[in-house]
A and B are shown apart, each in its own frame.
Chain A
Amino acid sequence: MKRSVEEMLASAEFRHLVARRWRVSIALTVALFVTYYGFILLVALDRTLLAQRIGEVTTLGIPLGVSVILVSWVLTAVYVVWANRSYDAEVARLRQLLRE
């Protein structure tokens, strides 16, 4: 059964797809904000913690700074893996159902 544009827009599957896409996006954006602002506010408010030594001279701040960059990249990768596996498959399926 092929669907018209209106039927597709009204379908539960399409609505779910859009809702799920934004749920994933918002969850990852929040994780990003927490990571970055967590770091920045730590720098602003608790300087002694970052100045703590973890090696001979190396301070905790150094690995923390690097991990903000690494976590940002991992979050990006999580999104791509989710989108390629789950989102694209559903998009392809729904497009098949659409009447030309």
Chain B
Amino acid sequence: METTLGTPTASAITFFFLIVALTLAVTYWAARRTRSTREFYAAGRSVSALQNGFALAGDYMSAASFLGIAGLVALRGYDGMIYATGWLVGWPALMFLVAEPLRNLGKYTFADVVAYRLRQTPVRIASAIGGILTVLFYTIAQMVGSGNLIMLMFGLSYEISVVLVGATMLAYVLFGGMIATTWVQIIKAVLLLAGVSLLTGLVLAEFQFSPGALYAAVVEQYGQAALEPGGLVTNPLDAVSLGLALMLGVLGLPHILMRFYTVPDARAARLSVLYATGLIGYFYIIIPLVGFGAAALVGRDVIAGIDAGGNMAAPLVAEQLGGTPFLGFIAAVAFATILAVVAGLTLAGASALSHDIYVSVVKKGQATEREQVRVARWATVVFGALAVLLGVVFKGQNVAFMVGLAFAIACSANFPALLLSIVWRRFTTAAAVASILSGATLAVGLIVLSPTVWVDVLGYPSALFGLRNPAIVSMTVAFLVGIGVSLATREPRAATMFDEEKLRTYLGVGAE
């Protein structure tokens, strides 16, 4: 099959500029409304539940899941579908365990909640370390992925692609803050869902709108094995550990948690999770159909020939069914997807640097509004530049392990401290710090010793730690450390404040 993939076509460039122009126009409009810290970090708490639902979905549905899962299904069949289910199950857990207390207790970052009744300085520093590590690894994965992607789609060089993403994303966050970032997410979510729905419709139209006929075409070419579980999940312990990281990692992703402060109250926070779960669930249900369609219509050899990981499966089937203009549209949507996710991550990283470290620790909360917004913008520049730099440095690295790492740190460092601080009266400052630091260290350390890095990246014959994802060990240890240190230390003030905090946690009294 002839493809124009990798050469910039008129339609791809047109769609690309349309999307960038639209999002920059939104940024310009938002910039005039972004003066206070409340507006910069939390969009003035004026985002509606439905808007936030789309924005959460936009923050979460990355190009990795769009192109990656379609590719995995195209090349490996049913195993790709198993992967898709894991990406959704964190959302209900987020709702049941932390969404409302988080909204009622916090101000701008999840560290506000962890530090609420504990000693500010040590807890803020530890939470910022956990938060920034998570966001940083997630950002590197997105940057490296986007560099490769844009290189493949538009034929630009890797470095130029990374700088392009960095510069556009910086414009959104720097000038428009959370208001612009939210609208960029909404636009992206709508484009992505519409694009993938249309693509799914075109695929199914080839098979008289019958998924059964599509599966039959796949089986005819690749055998019944394409619809059966293969080798992806063989070791149950590994599967459970990965599942834990995927499920509970969502509860520790700073850029997701931060979104709860953009809505007016806990009720809106709750509704926005329901909308987001619906949108993301729909996305993960239809994306395997695109993957199967690519396998049946384009062929595995062609897909793997262009990119061994299968990442180009969705664009290729788009080109086959809708011609070059549709390929251009899908390519531009993928680009918008990357931009939006990186913008959300950058805002979360910048808020940890400025709100948690500079304002709360360095200035002890004594900073004027003007100063806070100025620092937030500088932190954005620092974090954005870092993202571009690391994107270039990590060129050619395996992206999947970095996403795995981000989720492992999120569920080991951030989630245990967050949950314990919400539910347990006895929780102390020393315990929070110890739990965050041990969770983060263990997650990073064990991934380095695992087959993913020790064997695949460093080339040693066998791994020192057997599991590909350390969550089951590192998260358990973080919980045990948090509980153990709390029992060994005493903090009467924190316990007294916990009682008053309950009024705010459960009744929303005094919530911002």
A interface residues (Cβ-Cβ under 8 A, vs B):
5, 8-9, 14, 17-18, 21-22, 24-26, 28-29, 32, 35-37, 39-41, 43-45, 47, 50-51, 53, 55-59, 61-62, 65-66, 68-70, 72-73, 75-77, 79-80, 83-84, 88, 91, 94-95, 98
Q: Are A72 and B274 in contact (CB under 8 A)?
A: no
Task: Decide yes or no whether B14 CB sits under 8 A from chain A.
Answer: no
B213-243 residues at the A interface, CB under 8 angstroms: 215-216, 219, 224, 227-229, 233-236, 239-240, 243
Given A40-B243, A57-B212, A58-B215; A32-B78 close (CB under 8 Å): no
Q: Are A76 and B506 in contact (CB under 8 A)?
A: no
Q: Are A73 and B284 in contact (CB under 8 A)?
A: no
Task: Decide yes or no whether B358 CB sits under 8 A from chain A.
Answer: no
CA distance A69 to B487 in the complex (A): 39
Total interface residues in chain B, CB < 8 Å:
51
Q: Are A51 and B228 in contact (CB under 8 A)?
A: yes
Closest partner residue, chain B, to A47 (CB atom) = B229
Q: Are A39 and B270 in contact (CB under 8 A)?
A: no
Task: Decide yes or no whether B82 CB sits under 8 A from chain A.
Answer: yes
Q: Are B81 and A76 in contact (CB under 8 A)?
A: no
In the bound complex, residues from chain A placing their C-beta under 8 Å from that of B100 are 83
In angstroms, how far is the closest chain B Cβ from the Cβ of A56?
6
In the bound complex, residues from chain A placing their C-beta under 8 Å from that of B195 are none
Q: Are B502 and A18 in contact (CB under 8 A)?
A: yes
Q: Kindly identify which residue among A22, A65, A72, A91 contacts B82, using a CB–CB cutoff of 8 Å.
A: A65
Q: Are A44 and B233 in contact (CB under 8 A)?
A: yes
In angstroms, how far is the closest chain A Cβ from the Cβ of B482?
18
CA distance A58 to B499 in the complex (A): 55
Given A43-B233, A62-B81; A57-B91 close (CB under 8 Å): no
CA distance A94 to B509 in the complex (A): 10
Q: Which of A9, A17, A80 gathers most chain B CB within 10 Å?
A: A80
In the bound complex, residues from chain B placing their C-beta under 8 Å from that of A47 are 228-229
Please name 10 further chain A to chain B contacts, defined as beta carbons within 8 Å, in addition to the given A55-B212, A69-B85, A69-B284, sorted by A numbering.
Answer: A8-B503, A9-B499, A9-B500, A24-B96, A43-B239, A57-B224, A58-B211, A76-B274, A80-B274, A98-B507
Task: Decide yes or no whether B160 CB sits under 8 A from chain A.
Answer: no
CA distance A24 to B92 in the complex (A): 13
Closest partner residue, chain B, to A81 (CB atom) = B274
Q: Kindly identify which residue among B92, B215, B224, B503 contacts A76, using a CB–CB cutoff of 8 Å.
A: B92
Given A18-B502, A57-B215, A69-B85; A25-B96 close (CB under 8 Å): yes
In angstroms, how far is the closest chain B Cβ from the Cβ of A88?
6
CA distance A91 to B100 in the complex (A): 13
Q: Are A25 and B97 in contact (CB under 8 A)?
A: yes
Q: Kindly identify which residue among A56, A59, A76, A95 contacts B509, using a CB–CB cutoff of 8 Å.
A: A95
Between A and B, 28 residue pairs with Cβ closer than 8 Å are A9-B502, A9-B503, A22-B423, A25-B96, A28-B96, A32-B96, A32-B247, A37-B243, A39-B85, A40-B236, A41-B236, A47-B228, A57-B224, A58-B211, A61-B228, A62-B78, A62-B81, A62-B215, A65-B81, A65-B84, A68-B89, A69-B281, A70-B285, A73-B278, A77-B274, A83-B100, A83-B270, A95-B507
Binding site secondary structure of chain B: helix
Inter-chain CB contacts under 8 Å: number = 154
Binding site secondary structure of chain A: helix
CA distance A79 to B90 in the complex (A): 15
In the bound complex, residues from chain B placing their C-beta under 8 Å from that of A61 are 78, 81, 227-229
In angstroms, how far is the closest chain B Cβ from the Cβ of A71?
9
CA distance A59 to B508 in the complex (A): 48
CA distance A15 to B390 in the complex (A): 50
Interface string of B276-298 (1 = CB under 8 A from A): 01100100110000000000000
CA distance A44 to B235 in the complex (A): 7
Q: Are A59 and B239 in contact (CB under 8 A)?
A: no
Task: Decide yes or no whether B389 CB sits under 8 A from chain A.
Answer: no
CA distance A70 to B89 in the complex (A): 10
Q: Kindly identify which residue among B89, B216, B273 contacts A56, using a CB–CB cutoff of 8 Å.
A: B216
Q: Are A69 and B88 in contact (CB under 8 A)?
A: yes
Task: Decide yes or no whether B271 CB sits under 8 A from chain A.
Answer: yes
In the bound complex, residues from chain A placing their C-beta under 8 Å from that of B224 are 51, 53, 57, 59
Q: Kindly identify which residue among B78, B85, B211, B219 contacts A36, using a CB–CB cutoff of 8 Å.
A: B85
In the bound complex, residues from chain B placing their C-beta under 8 Å from that of A17 are 506
CA distance A79 to B85 in the complex (A): 20
